[in-house]
Structure 1
Amino acid sequence: MAIDRSLVIKEMKSVFVLIILGMLFAWSGLGCNECTFNSPRFWKIGSLNALMWVALWKGNSYLANFISWKWPWIKFPMKRFIIGLIVTIVYSLAAMYGIIALYSWSLQVAINYSTGYSILITIIISLFMHGREFLINWRQVAIDAERLQKENIAAHYESLKSQINPHFLFNTLNVLTNVVYEDQDKAAKFIKQLSEVYRYVLDTRDREVVTLDEELKFLMSYLYLQQIRFGDKLKLNIQLEGVKSMVAPLVVQMLIENAIKHNIVSEENPLEIHVYTMDNFIVVENNLQKKMVFSEESTGIGLENICKRYEFLSNTPVEIIQNDKFIVKLPVIPVHA
């Protein structure tokens, strides 16, 4: 792992400042009323104070960072406060008495010189460090919220574009032209399903999540259009009955659309797409038979958008596996009453 030299220099500077403050603390008479600048007692008291300042300031700083990482203020405010308070007290007392023991002084003398001031300094330092961590976490939440808004706008735009792009509309209308001449009843149903697809796209453009039942209802309309277009060349198997979950709108459809767009779909090589649940994931799986030349331009951001959207919706990341099959696993999002 590479070491950040600027960070090391910054840490060294802060330690040096604390040492100087500790020596000034002794020189001012707060640590040793009877000491003079040239006396050994001054240097002993000064070095004791300097070491105490470094241990309490830097130690509590690192502990505050670690505790905030383990138990963030935003998610566990009360737990974070209690654990932070206990750890600060235990560490500060251990550090003070450890340093005192290191100097081999009489415990009472050491307490008279340094403990009262050290406790006061510790309280001030702890308030500053924990308050700083709270503000940093609060600021990060504000940044994440802004980022979520931007990601949602980009994701919604990409979802709309994936449905309304000329290729999709051209292919769908081409199929409709043939169906109209062959079977008017089928053509009427085809048009109804197409309208359902676009209605769902418009209805969900401002929603972060929808129920899996809503998504499946839309998916049936979309897959009906694709099944009319490809017939037996496209084999679909969806097993999501009874699954209770929220999903990001249009995500499953985008994965199926990508599978169709990037793979050969023919009578000799039918494309098989399976959608099912496994280990708290919704899995979209297809066999790999990649096209050598794409008839449609690939932006390369479809999967990236899906992954980023799910970063905000679940603590479990989206999993992408590629071997002889292409598999995308979307974490199940619990349905809140």
Structure 2
Amino acid sequence: MKFARYSNQDEVMQGLIVPVYVGGLNWILLGNQYWHNGWVFLIATVLTFVTALLAWFVNNAVGLYLNRRFPDIDQTLVRLSWLLGWCVLAGWSCCTFLYGCYFLLNSPSLPMQPGRLPLVLLFNLVVVLMVIIFYEGIRAFERWERTLRKTEELKKANLQSQFDSLRSQINPHFLFNSLNTLSSLIEEDPEQAEQFVEEMASVYRYLLRSNESQLATLGNELTFAQSYFHLLRTRYGANIHLEQAVDAHFHDHLLPPLTLQLLLENAVKHNVILPEQPLHISIRTEADNRLVVRNNLQRKNTRIISNQVGLTNIATQYRLLGGGDIRVDDDDNFFTVTLPLIRKA
């Protein structure tokens, strides 16, 4: 039978506290006879040890329930009040039970100290307070460690995402294509060339500012996606299409920054884009707080090396932020990524 563990240090705490509790409680109840009579010592120790250990496991289960019932930091006082009340009640019940057992077994070899029951209850209260304080200290430290570890993992995922985005955009190939497009536009359509420069500046400005926050609003991500798509549309012309069906109600919802850019880039990178094979990308929201990014599949014949770092980073950031899981569907006709939108706190 597997008992609930309240902390990773349960065994250590039990090994340190239960023997002290058993010895102290029996000494108060039975006096020095507890230490001097082997039979008394054996019977009392076994009975008290089993009772204390069972009470410990029950208290653990209650403590875990209260943690689920009152999980927030601002509910700590309420949770600890309930936990203290339960543990004191359970401890006093155990003390009364042991007192009753000793009373029934009362004999010259197992002498009672009737006037010491209030002292036993006080001793139990002190032990309960010490255990709760120790446990809460351990759990606070464990929470701090987990938070620190998640923060470091999230920083790493964010940095990797930013690096991948910048690497894919600020590289000789991208700059060559962008400058070549700009050069052509300057002669053919100066007004469009000016707009291209503005959109390109907007893209880089957003990329460089994306590390300022772990989350971005959907509205800002859509604005950035439009600037990024303008560069793609200028390059590929009418061979690439972007359709948006996003309810304005979701514009304040959150998602990791650069998510849409990574998905647009992924679609362009892996698919043929030709007049007879245009690429269609859609971004839409669903009623259950989800964002769906979808493109038709027309895979390139040449082998594209991909380790799905972009999708992996998006999934990692969602996991660390507690935003849920992303879903990727590939049915050979469409490639679809479904993302949960995070509500503002």
Q: Does TM, scored on the shorter chain, surpass 0.5?
A: yes
Deviation of residue 276 (structure 1)? 0.8
Which of 321, 324, 337 aligns to 1:316? It is: 324
Deviates more, 1:73-82 or 1:196-205: 73-82
Give 1:274's aligned residue: 282
> Is 1:284 aligned with 2:290?
no
* Cα RMSD for the two superposed structures: 3.7
Which residue type is aligned with residue 244 of structure 1?
H
Deviation of residue 203 (structure 1)? 3.5
Which of 246, 255, 259 aligns to 2:263? It is: 255
**Could you tell me how far apart the structure 2 residues matched to 1:172 and 1:102 are?**
87
> Is 1:210 aligned with 2:208?
no
**Could you tell me how far apart the structure 1 residues matched to 2:268 and 2:189 are?**
25
**Could you tell me how far apart the structure 1 residues matched to 2:59 and 2:251 are?**
45
TM superposition score normalised by structure 1:
0.78
Deviates more, 1:13-22 or 1:263-272: 13-22
Contact 1:197–1:221 (Cα < 8 Å) also in 2? yes
Which residue type is aligned with residue 323 of structure 1?
D
Aligned residues: 326
Contact 1:57–1:122 (Cα < 8 Å) also in 2? no
Contact 2:185–2:193 (Cα < 8 Å) also in 1? yes
Structure 1: tracts of 5 or more residues without a match: 4-9
**Could you tell me how far apart the structure 2 residues matched to 1:53 and 1:263 are?**
67
Highest RCO, 1 vs 2 (Cα 8 Å, sep ≥ 6): 2
Deviation of residue 221 (structure 1)? 1.7
**Could you tell me how far apart the structure 2 residues matched to 1:174 and 1:120 are?**
78
* SS of the residue 2:30 aligns to: coil
CA deviations over 1:105-135 (Å, ceiling 9, x no partner): 4899898395554343223222222232123
CA deviations over 1:49-81 (Å, ceiling 9, x no partner): 222332344544565456446644646433432
CA 307–64 in structure 1, closer or farther in 2 if over 3 Å, else same: same
CA 183–238 in structure 1, closer or farther in 2 if over 3 Å, else same: same
**Could you tell me how far apart the structure 2 residues matched to 1:56 and 1:216 are?**
56
CA 156–50 in structure 1, closer or farther in 2 if over 3 Å, else same: same
Give 2:5's aligned residue: none
Alignment of 1:298-337 (within 5 A): 298-324=306-332, 325-335=334-344
* SS of the residue 1:330 aligns to: strand
Deviation of residue 257 (structure 1)? 0.7
Deviation of residue 138 (structure 1)? 2.9
**Could you tell me how far apart the structure 2 residues matched to 1:25 and 1:162 are?**
68
* SS of the residue 2:337 aligns to: strand
**Could you tell me how far apart the structure 2 residues matched to 1:170 and 1:239 are?**
33
Deviation of residue 186 (structure 1)? 2.7
Deviates more, 1:203-212 or 1:92-101: 92-101
* SS of the residue 1:176 aligns to: helix
CA 248–180 in structure 1, closer or farther in 2 if over 3 Å, else same: same
CA deviations over 1:130-165 (Å, ceiling 9, x no partner): 232123223333333344333333332223223213
